[in-house]
């Protein structure tokens, strides 16, 4: 019995000592872990800096190694972009040409009592549109002097000189051209339209010799009257932008903005009468 008590006592003592030793070791180990943690933090910071530097070096080296490839790709993209821009310009030009041709076809359908010859403008006959322009049709195509020239927007002018394959057209804004005009709103047809240049050298037209009692106003549309058997009736000349009164001569004049933009002409139609007696070709 005493033996067992002594053994138990020894066991308790051994366990107690072991427990105390374990606590001491753990405490010591915790202190070391704190120190180790501090060192670890410092090492991690250094490693981070080194890693970042290394990454940048790798990236720079990679860029230098791939510079030629990147340059080639950039040149390809630039070339493709230029091709797309070129296609866009061509598409826009074709779209505008299509609109002009559609406008001319519409004009032809409303004035089907005449024949028409389509022409391209190939040059100017002088320094500006007042001197006229050159079209690529002539006597071989049935063109004669004094034939009327139009677009889908309205009156352009008349043919003044003809060759075999080319002709010269004087425009409406030339002061040498005279057209019998009709005020669409009042149906007055006793005015004459001639070319006119304002104080800013803007190319316009003017309707002369309306009576002082005329009801013409700004915004009215002026058409060809058909009088004189030269210009077909009902071709749009332009729109009234200003009214002048000459009380001394008892007349009104109207400044007209032509319906045709003479700076943007590319194609025109020459009106060919089906019966030549409809037009007097000689002055």
**Which single residue is written with the structure tokens 């860029």?**
63
pLDDT tens by residue, the chain, 283 residues? 444 445 555 555 555 555 555 555 554 554 445 444 554 444 455 455 555 665 666 666 565 566 667 777 777 877 777 766 665 665 555 555 556 555 556 655 666 677 889 899 998 887 766 668 999 999 999 999 999 999 988 999 999 999 999 999 999 988 888 899 999 999 998 899 999 988 888 889 999 999 999 999 999 999 999 887 778 889 999 999 999 998 787 889 999 999 998 888 888 999 987 765 544 433 2
What tokens were used for 59? 């990236």
Residues 6+ apart with CB under 8 A from 4: none
Which structural domains are found in the chain, ordered by start?
1-110 (no CATH), 119-278 (2.40.10.350)
Residues 6+ apart with CB under 8 A from 158: 146, 147, 148, 149, 169, 170, 177, 230, 231
Q: What values do phi and psi take at 244, rounded to 5?
A: -115, 140
How far is it, in rounded angstroms, from Cα 107 to Cα 104? 5
């Amino acid at each position: 019995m005493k033996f067992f008590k002594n053994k138990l006592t020894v066991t308790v003592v051994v366990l107690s000592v072991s427990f105390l030793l374990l606590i001491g070791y753990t405490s010591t180990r915790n202190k070391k872990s704190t120190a180790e943690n501090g060192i670890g933090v410092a090492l991690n910071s250094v490693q981070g800096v080194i890693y970042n530097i290394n990454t940048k070096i790798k990236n720079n080296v990679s860029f230098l190694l791939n510079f030629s490839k990147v340059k080639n790709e950039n040149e390809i993209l630039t070339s493709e972009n230029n091709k797309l821009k070129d296609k866009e310009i061509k598409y826009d030009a074709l779209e505008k040409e299509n609109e002009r041709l559609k406008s001319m076809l519409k004009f032809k359908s409303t004035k089907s009592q005449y024949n028409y010859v389509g022409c391209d403008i190939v040059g100017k006959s002088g320094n500006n549109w007042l001197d006229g322009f050159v079209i690529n049709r002539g006597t071989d195509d049935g063109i004669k002097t004094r034939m009327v020239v139009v677009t889908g927007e309205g009156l352009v002018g008349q043919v003044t000189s003809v060759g075999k394959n080319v002709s010269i057209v004087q425009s409406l804004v030339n002061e040498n051209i005279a057209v019998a005009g009709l005020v669409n709103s009042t149906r007055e047809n006793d005015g004459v339209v001639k070319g006119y240049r304002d104080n800013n050298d803007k190319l316009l037209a003017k309707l002369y010799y309306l009576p002082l009692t005329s009801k013409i106003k700004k915004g009215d549309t002026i058409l060809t009257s058909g009088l004189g058997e030269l210009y077909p009736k009902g071709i749009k000349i332009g729109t009234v932008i200003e009214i002048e009164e000459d009380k001394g001569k008892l007349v009104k004049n109207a400044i007209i903005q032509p319906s045709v933009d003479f700076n943007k002409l590319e194609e025109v139609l020459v009106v060919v009468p089906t019966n030549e007696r409809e037009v007097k070709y000689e002055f």
